[in-house]
């Protein structure tokens, strides 16, 4: 099979799970071409892997802005006028309300014209999308123009705030299947789609390579780590407040923040206001290898988010035998078992986060939590196994397996 992957921006430092999935599918023997609506900014190309992937990725928007390329794509599509006008009607029918929504969907239709032309020239047999928002609209329209089937991975949580705007119902109805990253995501897909399409909703976890994080480092019992975008949804101000309180009991406690984003300046100011300047390191974006090394030298990963899907960074930390502290939001509870592999707390509660930090960092069961976390990731979130499950769905065509959670390919061979 020749699969094409489409996202809004690829590769990107904040979405390394997509890059891992592509690499795992290629190791399984599938041909996977990568397409991105927009070119990725240089701040996201933080390692050789990202730079190599960027060079081989087709950029849809820049191709669409080339009038010669767009004209050729439109003429090619008009060879099948019925399909062309059905796809155009679909773009109009699924547009958000108002002139702005109509305009954007016509832009997405133009992008779909160019992408459909590119996919036909590359002999692509299936199109897959991640993130399910505007790039998935392009995927849906591309499929309508080309008759190439498409599927998508449903993450959340932000798309669940506006499912009508993004016409999640239409995307599910027209997709060959939907890979839901959690039971929570699948339930939301069921909520916003017709019951006749629920059999398409399969659970395929995002995953990590556990061996990549199987490293030993000199952990000193005082180092907290956060990895994520420095944006409001991640709840970092709550973490800073909890850290300031926790240092009254554990004065050597320090925190490394890996990532960047719109709230960086405000968070740096908050750090100074809380007298944490010497205790907090803003490390910026780091490559996958650098994050793996930081996990080996840290003692606990903290993710105080207000909303999440199933955070891949928690999988990375657990694979590195780190206990984790996370908020009980989205599908996080499907990964982290409270009191076993870490602590789950209510979002937005700095007091509860303070207590969890003291419990984990002062306790003697950090090593046991780390081992329990690694065992969980190895069984349920190994990217090699999850990619094999996804590959089986690609290869099944319209004859999807009946199971909600596709069979582990290792068990199928036994």
For residues 292-313, average pLDDT:
96
pLDDT(347) > 90: yes
Q: How many helices (H) and strands (E) does the chain have?
A: 17, 13
% of the chain beyond a pLDDT of 70: 99
d(CA 186, CA 173): 14
User: CATH number of the domain at 210-380, out of 3.40.1410.10, 3.30.70.270, 3.40.50.2000, 3.50.50.60?
Assistant: 3.40.50.2000
Q: What is the pLDDT of residues 380-405, one digit of tens each?
A: 999 999 999 999 999 999 999 999 99
> Helix 67-77 and helix 81-93: axis angle, to 10°?
110
For residues 295-310, average pLDDT:
96
**Token pair for residue 84?**
């062309």
pLDDT of residue 1: 86
Sketch the domain layout of the chain as residue ranges: 2-207+382-413, 210-380
For residues 156-165, average pLDDT:
94
Please write down the long-range contacts of 274-277, taking CB distance under 8 Å and 24 or more positions apart: 274/240, 274/241, 274/243, 274/244, 275/244, 276/240, 276/243, 276/244, 276/247
pLDDT of residue 71: 98
pLDDT(305) > 80: yes
The CATH number of the domain covering residues in 2-207+382-413: 3.40.50.2000
For residues 122-141, average pLDDT:
97
Confidence of residue 413 (pLDDT cuts 50, 70, 90): low
pLDDT of residue 414: 54
Q: What is the pLDDT of residues 227-262, one digit of tens each?
A: 999 999 999 999 999 999 999 999 999 999 999 999
User: Do the domains spanning 2-207+382-413 and 210-380 agree at the CATH topology level?
Assistant: yes
pLDDT(19) > 70: yes
pLDDT of residue 197: 98
Q: What angle do CA 53, 262, 228 make, to 5 degrees?
A: 55
| CA-derived radius of gyration, the chain | 22
pLDDT of residue 25: 97
pLDDT of residue 215: 86
d(CA 156, CA 403): 22
Confidence of residue 364 (pLDDT cuts 50, 70, 90): confident
In degrees to the nearest 10, what's the CA dihedral of 283, 287, 289, 292? Answer: 50
pLDDT(66) > 60: yes
**Least confidently predicted of 76-80, 374-378, 405-409:** 405-409
pLDDT(371) > 60: yes
pLDDT of residue 313: 96
pLDDT of residue 412: 63
d(CA 1, CA 28): 11
% of the chain beyond a pLDDT of 90: 89
pLDDT of residue 40: 85
Q: What is the pLDDT of residues 174-233, one digit of tens each?
A: 999 999 999 999 999 999 999 999 999 999 999 999 999 998 888 889 999 999 999 999
Mean confidence (pLDDT) of the chain: 95
pTM higher than 0.85 for the full model? yes
349 forms bridges with which residues in the sheet?
none
**Residue with more model confidence, 41 or 176:** 176
pLDDT of residue 12: 86
């Amino acid at each position: 099979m020749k699969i094409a992957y489409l996202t809004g921006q690829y590769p990107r430092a904040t979405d390394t799970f997509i890059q891992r999935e592509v690499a795992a599918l290629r190791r399984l023997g599938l041909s996977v071409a990568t397409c991105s609506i927009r070119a990725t900014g240089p701040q996201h190309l933080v390692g050789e892997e990202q730079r190599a992937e960027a060079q081989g990725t087709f950029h849809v928007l820049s191709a669409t802005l080339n009038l010669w390329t767009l004209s050729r794509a439109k003429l090619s599509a008009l060879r099948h006028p019925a399909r062309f006008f059905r796809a155009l009607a679909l773009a109009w029918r699924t547009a958000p309300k108002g002139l702005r929504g109509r305009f954007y969907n016509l832009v997405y239709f133009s992008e779909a014209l160019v992408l459909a032309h590119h996919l036909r020239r590359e002999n692509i047999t299936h199109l897959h999308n991640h993130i399910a928002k505007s790039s998935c609209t392009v995927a849906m329209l591309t499929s309508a123009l080309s008759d190439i089937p498409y599927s998508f991975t449903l993450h959340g949580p932000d798309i669940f705030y506006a499912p009508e705007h993004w016409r999640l119902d239409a995307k599910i109805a027209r997709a060959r299947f939907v890979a839901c990253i959690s039971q929570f995501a699948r339930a939301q897909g069921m909520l916003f789609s017709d019951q006749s399409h629920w059999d398409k909703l399969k659970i395929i976890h995002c995953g990590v390579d556990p061996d990549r994080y199987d490293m030993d480092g000199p952990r000193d019992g005082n180092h907290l780590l956060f990895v994520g975008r420095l944006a409001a949804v991640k709840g970092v101000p709550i973490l800073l407040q909890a850290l300031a309180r926790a240092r009254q009991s554990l004065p050597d406690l320090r925190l490394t923040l890996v990532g960047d984003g719109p709230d960086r300046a405000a968070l740096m100011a908050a750090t100074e206001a809380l007298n944490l300047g010497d205790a907090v390191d803003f490390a910026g974006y780091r490559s996958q290898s650098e994050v793996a090394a930081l996990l080996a030298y840290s003692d606990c990963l903290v993710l105080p988010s207000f909303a999440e899907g199933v955070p891949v960074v928690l999988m990375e930390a657990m694979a590195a035998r780190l206990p984790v502290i996370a908020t009980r939001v989205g599908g996080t509870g499907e990964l982290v078992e409270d009191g076993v592999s870490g602590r789950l707390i209510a979002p937005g509660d700095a007091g509860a986060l303070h207590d969890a930090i003291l419990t984990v960092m002062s306790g003697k069961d950090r090593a046991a939590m780390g081992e329990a976390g690694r065992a969980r990731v190895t069984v349920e979130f190994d990217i090699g196994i999850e990619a094999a499950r996804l590959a089986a769905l690609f290869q099944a065509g319209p004859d999807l397996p009946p199971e909600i959670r596709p069979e582990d390919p290792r068990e199928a061979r036994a």
